[in-house]
Structure 1
Amino acid sequence: MSERGVTHPLTTPPTAPTKIVLPDLVSHCTFTKRVSRHRKQVTTETKRWLFEGGNLTGKKRDAFHGLKAGLLTAMCYPDAGCSQLRVCNDFLTYLFHLDNLSDDMDNRGTRATADVVLNSLYHPNAYRSPARVGKMTRDYYKRMITTASPGAQQRFIETFDFFFQSVTQQAIDRAAGVIPDLESYIALRRDTSGCKPCWALIEYANNLDIPDEVMEHPIIQSLGEAANDLVTWSNDIFSYNVEQSKGDTHNMIPVVMHEEGLDLQAAVDFVGTMCKQSIDRFVDDRANLPSWGPEIDRDVATYVDGLADWIVGSLHWSFESERYFGKAGRDVKATRVVDLLPRRV
């Protein structure tokens, strides 16, 4: 039979979202934000160090000005002396440089970079590589080991090794178009974040020499993990827009959408709730620190304060830097609304 005269409703495909609303993590974090008085000096010195030999030009150089790594360092290590803050800032700036490089690398490229970096750390006086990344590694690490405790040095190198192992796995996943399950992603992301060597720098920056058995205590480990999770997961929320425009799926939001069957905004809210829970976990752990005697307790309190500085500092810096929201960071901080970028072809 003919169906003329029968009107069928038109079904329009669902339109892709054009914006997301960020969770209010800044209000949930009640830690005091502090900024080192050495910020301007180390920012100038690190940029001179990074740009030496004209290795970064044009847009790449502009991006490092907009990164404002010096502000992040100054908020995360506010009590460090000037020379120690400079080492921390050199490392963080270089870590962003490595992160940008690894985004464009296959697993062979990350392994080659890892070989140069780790040999430069394990043998800073004997190993020689003409690669710029090797020279930079030896330069900041030689300055670090003049005052860093043996434990801090060991933790720095071991966790940086984990970083390279995890970014190599990330490169393999990216090449295969794999979206990992949430549990696997969280375990991998705790290393790809690069936070763990930054925690060793808290010891270095504050002249701490905390015994290994104290650093390995479950509550100290849990505090470091909670801080890592907050810094990392909130970064996934803040960087999602830029990453989705490039088709990058190594981010907790697409992982959650895939695993939980959520739409984009619901996944953002889901990850936001996890971020708030990580702050709450940190507060609870901090209130339940055991005692190891007055001297060690003082050093532990300084270390844990350093983790808190990282939590609050990274949250505020994310809106000051141009890395995630361009020039609109302060507006985004106020409104929490992000207009999504078109997908690049």
Structure 2
Amino acid sequence: MAQKYLHIPDIMATWPWPRRIHPLHEEVAAESSAWLKSFAPFTPESQHAFDKCNFGLLAALAYPDASRETLRTSIDLMDLFFVIDEYTDFEQAPAVKKIVDMLLDAVHNPQKPRPAGEPILGEMMREWSERCLPTATPEAVGHFLKSFTDYLEAVVAQAEDRGSGAVRSIDSFIKIRRENNGGRPSLFPSELHLSIPDEVFYHPYVVEMQNCIVDMITTINDILSYNREQATHTDDYNLLTVVMRELGTDLDGAMAWVVDLHHGIAARFVEGLDHVPSFGPEVDAQLQEYLQNIANWPRCVDSWSFEAGRYFGERGVEYQRTRRVPLLQKSKRDVQYHCEEVQVHLIEHLAQPTPA
């Protein structure tokens, strides 16, 4: 008999960083939402579904102590990443490559007017870069540009896999997921005001600590987004699907495997904080602040996933309590999505859960 429920363990029960939220999140999120809507990236129906995702809440949970300016930068960045996600999830690799080239040109040349007739993502990226990058230190900007480029290149690789039907191993998937989940460039506001030199930022220890946080973002996200993704035919790039396919296990077996992986990664990060190498007093203080900032992210992703409407609609708080989620039937697959015709799914409008 086909499985009818997703059982979600509370994998964040022992994470030392509690849920915290920025006190100005509603006010600043409203400003960011107005900015986003000025580009009209979606149809009214899809914009409504996008609004339900509440990406302002995501940023406010990630950066509860940020300045107002940094919070706005963070919310706009979250909106950008998820618009990119919606625009590229169903496109073929050549079209995704064009979007990526456009975004890279915009982020590196924010003073350059965008060509007439170009998809609005180019102008969104240009405006964000022109307004937000000058507020960051040169070191932080350099780190962001590298991680953002790596992210976009991984999005192209995902589109190539989708087009060719390539099947990645668990290890290969985890490596590319570190880049294409957008987690690494999303850490940019954590260091926006810091001047961490490259030789420290890319030190093997610091990279490993970053990898722990980004991999935890993957495990949490792929567990909590699985129902939406399997219903909308986008779960090929979900760790639960990859584990089921490679290990020949069912959904509960894959869940147990991913939970064990998650706890091992979390333990490495927490233990790693007790063994931070020294790079000198000034840099050490900045690095400690950075590591504490990025440690908010796993809790942020977990809390937002239940509190916003992207994955569970209006029932997120209920599912957070019961840990039992009815599996949605798969929606009708439409491979014609492109640019402004992209459809953002509202959970309540997907197929009804399978009967008990």
The answer, yes or no, to whether TM exceeds 0.5 is: yes
Letter in 1 for 2:157: Q
Letter in 2 for 1:78: P
Deviations 1:294-316 (A, max 9, x none): 22122111100111111211111
Could you tell me whether the CA contact under 8 Å between 2:39 and 2:124 is conserved in 1? no
Q: Distance in 2 between matches of 1:30 and 1:140?
A: 33
Choose the corresponding residue for 1:211, options 197, 214, 229. 197
Does 2:224 align with 1:224?
no
Does 2:284 align with 1:294?
no
Note the residue ranges of structure 2 that are not aligned, 5 or more in a row: 333-356
Letter in 2 for 1:47: S
State the 1:344 CA deviation: 2.3
Aligned partner of 2:64 in structure 1 is: 78
Does 2:32 align with 1:46?
yes
Choose the corresponding residue for 1:151, options 139, 144, 149. 139
Aligned partner of 2:222 in structure 1 is: 236
Q: Distance in 2 between matches of 1:37 and 1:246?
A: 35
Deviations 1:160-201 (A, max 9, x none): 111111111111211223321111101110011111111222
Aligned partner of 2:336 in structure 1 is: none
The normalised TM-score by structure 1 is 0.92
Aligned partner of 1:324 in structure 2 is: 311
For 1:1-345, list aligned pairs within 5 A.
15-126=1-112, 128-130=114-116, 131=118, 132-204=120-192, 207-248=193-234, 249-345=236-332
Aligned partner of 1:4 in structure 2 is: none
Could you tell me whether the CA contact under 8 Å between 1:257 and 1:267 is conserved in 2? yes
Q: Distance in 1 between matches of 2:141 and 2:171?
A: 30
Deviations 1:133-178 (A, max 9, x none): 1111111111222221112111111111111111111112112233
State the 1:123 CA deviation: 1.4
The normalised TM-score by structure 2 is 0.89
SS in 2 for 1:338: strand
State the 1:250 CA deviation: 1.2
Identity %: 32
Deviations 1:1-42 (A, max 9, x none): xxxxxxxxxxxxxx1100121121121322122211221121
Q: Distance in 1 between matches of 2:134 and 2:54?
A: 27
SS in 2 for 1:26: coil
